[in-house]
Amino acid sequence: MTKVFHYPWRAAVKPAHWRLPSPSGDVVSPEVGAFVDHGNGNFEEIPGPTIREGTGQNRVLTKDSDQFFYSSEYSHQFQKETTDSFVRRCHFALTDAFIWLSGYLYRYREDSGSPLAERKLSDACAAFRGYLGSQKDFAPESLIVEIARNAPGAVASIVAGPRMVLTREHTEVPLDKIQEMDVSSLVDLARRPGRTVAMKAGPKQRLTALTRRETADTIENRVVLDFIFRSARSARQYVDEMCARCPRREACLLHDPVVEKDCPSERVKLVAGYSRHCAAWIRSGAFAEVTRLKEPRTRPNYVLQQNIRYVKVWKYYLKLLRLEDVEEDVWRWRRAAWSDMAKMLFMMVWEERLKPHAKLQTSRRPFMIRSANRNGRWFVPTPFEDSLVFDERGRYKTLYILSADDAAGLTGKKDLLAKNADFFIVVAADGEFTIRPVWAFCEDAKTQSDLDANSLAREASAEINAAGMRGLALFPSDEKEPIVKWTGEACVEGLNLFSADTNSVFDQLENYLKGVLS
């Protein structure tokens, strides 16, 4: 029987938590990621809503394995308004982080001139740690920061003197001012009553003639205007997010990074300043007669490709559009993106905290990430390295972090696949295996309004423990204090990636791994 459930560990939990799909559709908030169990041991993750639509529907084809050749559609309904600002902030932060990470690898390849060039995991970890937050600037580098830094000059020069074209218009022109007529004007003249031109010109002595008028309503200017609007929106979002994270949030009086004296982030100031510029450009009237694009323009004209002022704007425009596409994509698969983030965090702990103390490292692996996400996933299926060996007073323990298939292969326990975990921590010693599944989940927006993070963690750990599972579940949190809740041997942790103390996240994970090892 087809079942739908939220929270990945519920695949192995009592059926009480499962919900049967109703024929008319089910209202869910699958931005957290819901799963469909088709009854054959496969769990299919369902994507969430897009950010561009309002109320939307998502159809999933389900097959009822009890009945032969029967299939039904199961539809979700969801509403964008159910999400709150934290969820959106977290989502954009995740997207930004992975776009930056994949760009990091591919920039290296471009610079080295070799498609085979790879970065070491240690380099990637160090760079990502720098991205998450440094002493100097808590706000990370982002496309909008790059735009704010590089684009204003080009846009300003366009605003100061946009490219104008002469358009031909038919207007009523006084007789003594007529310079040019065309077929339409002559036809209009012929149709007018009267025998002579003067009679046809009427009391006002005007005839329809061709005039030329300068206008800025060209394709390239429409693109520039669209770029200004989009980048302004992106800049506002960035400033809002960063201000919410700002360590001086309570002390901030004006809540305006441009004028705030002690604003700790240069990047936020830069972007806020850019946002003001955008408003000024729109108010300036240079684009008053330029029509808005109804949909993004992806095909350039000659000017956008060749004109030195417009080329830069065009390149950033394309990047913005792509970013919006990626954001929309990742928004639908937020849980999957968070799962990748959990993997990245574990890889960083592995590289920076555990390896230096390991007796033996059995393999190395280059850092591999896709250039574009696939259903929210950026990493290749198993980005982890092989194993680390620790020596505890002559007793050797081997630590693995593995995908579900590899864990089942190593331990010989095929039932691990039924736990629907994102990955597994396995310790092998003295012929025995210690296995801990790790799930990544996001808070459901509805529950988030009912439960605070601590309560959520407590309830989730109780649920996992009640199912007889020992494992770790991770979710993104914006609490200042670390959230760690245990029920039996089940642990749920809320991770704040963008807190002032980034080390606290790694401390949490390292403590958990050491606990498993011991």
Partner 1 sequence: MSTYIGLDMAPSAMRWIVRDGAGGGGEAGGPIYGIRGCPKHPDYDSAVSWSDAMAFRQGEFEAKFGSGIEKTVRYELPEGHAAEWLRSFFQSAEGHPAVDVNGTIAVAVPDHASPEDRDDVLAGLSATKYANVSLIWRPVAALLGWMDYQKNKQGVDLSILLNRRIFVLDLDAGRPELTELACVRHRKNRDWIVPSRRRPSSDTLSTDGTFARECYQAMLADVPEWEQLVGGQFYADLQHAIEAGDNGFEAWVRRRGAWQPKRVKFSHALPNDILDTIKPILARMREDLNNADILLINGWVVRRYGEQILAQFKTKCGNVASISADSVARGAALFAERLAKGLPTYYDRLPEYSFWDGFKSDWVLMFNGEQEVEPGREYRYPEAGSRPCKLKIEKYADNVSFYVREPTSKEYARRIKTVFAEFLRSDLELSLSAVVVPEKGSARFVLAMCDDKAPAIFVSGTATVREIVLRWRSDDNKANKEVSVEYIEEHQGYVEPQPVLGRIYDSEDNLRMVEEYVKTPRGAAFYGLWAAYNARFHPDARNGIADRVGYRATPIEPTRGLFGTRYVFNVRVDKATRAFAEKCAKEMPYVTPSLFAGTGSLLKDGMLQQNYCHCGALEDYKNLIRARLTNGDEPQYNFSFYNAAGYVLGEDPKDVEILLNYICAKIHLQAERGKLWWSFFRMLCWHPECKLTSATKPLLEKALSILCSQDANKVVNGGRWTFNDIKYLLLAILYALRIRESGEDLSAPLKQHLIALLSTGLLSNVPFPQTMVPKVNPASRLPGDTLSKYVLRFVLRQDTLADRELGSAMGGV
411 counts as binding partner 1 under rule CB under 8 A: yes
Our finding on whether 228 is near partner 1 (CB under 8 A) is no
**DSSP structural state of residue 20:** P
Least distance in angstroms from the C-beta of 425 to partner 1: 13
21 φ/ψ angles, rounded to the nearest 5 degrees: -70, 140
Local structure of 453: helix, strand or coil:
helix
Quick one: which segment of 37-45, 64-72, 208-216, 392-400 binds partner 1 (CB under 8 A)? 392-400
Least distance in angstroms from the C-beta of 44 to partner 1: 20
* Residue from 57, 114, 298, 375 in contact with partner 1 (CB under 8 A): 114
CA atoms within 13 A on the CB side of 355: 17
Element (H, E) at 373: strand 369-374
User: CA-to-CA distance for 304 and 302, rounded, in angstroms?
Assistant: 6
Q: Does 120 bind partner 1 (CB under 8 A)?
A: no
Nearer to partner 1, 138 or 378 (CB): 378
Assess 400 for contact with partner 1 (CB under 8 A): yes
Rounded to whole angstroms, the Cα distance separating 323 from 295 reads 16
Torsion of CA 418, 423, 425, 428, to 10 degrees: 70
Nearest distance from residue 241's CB to partner 1, in Å? 31
Which member of 368, 417, 418, 462 binds partner 1 (CB under 8 A)?
368
- State the amino acid at position 119 in one-letter form: R
Residue of 119, 222, 397, 485 that binds partner 1 (CB under 8 A): 397
Name the strands in the sheet holding 432-440, side by side, starting at the edge strand that comes first in the sequence. 360-361, 387-392, 395-402, 423-429, 432-440, 472-476, 490-495, 483-487
Between CA 377 and CA 330 the distance in angstroms is 8
**Min. distance of Cβ 115 from partner 1 in angstroms?**
6
Helix (H, G, I), strand (E, B) or coil at 8: helix
Shortest gap between Cβ of 118 and partner 1 (angstroms)? Answer: 7
105 binds partner 1 (CB under 8 A): no
Among 26, 123, 386, 459, binds partner 1 (CB under 8 A): 386
Q: With contact defined as beta carbons under 8 Å apart, do 277 and 188 qualify? A: no
Is 417 an interacting residue with respect to partner 1 (CB under 8 A)?
no
> Would you say 189 and 207 are in contact if contact means Cβ atoms under 8 Å apart?
yes
Site membership for partner 1, residue 389 (CB under 8 A): yes
The binding track of 57-96 with respect to partner 1, each residue x by CB under 8 A or -, is: ----------------------------------------
Closest CA to 234 of 92, 72, 436: 92
Sites of contact with partner 1 (CB under 8 A) = 114-118, 360-366, 368, 370, 380-382, 385-387, 389, 396-398, 400, 402, 405-406, 409-412, 426, 428-431, 433
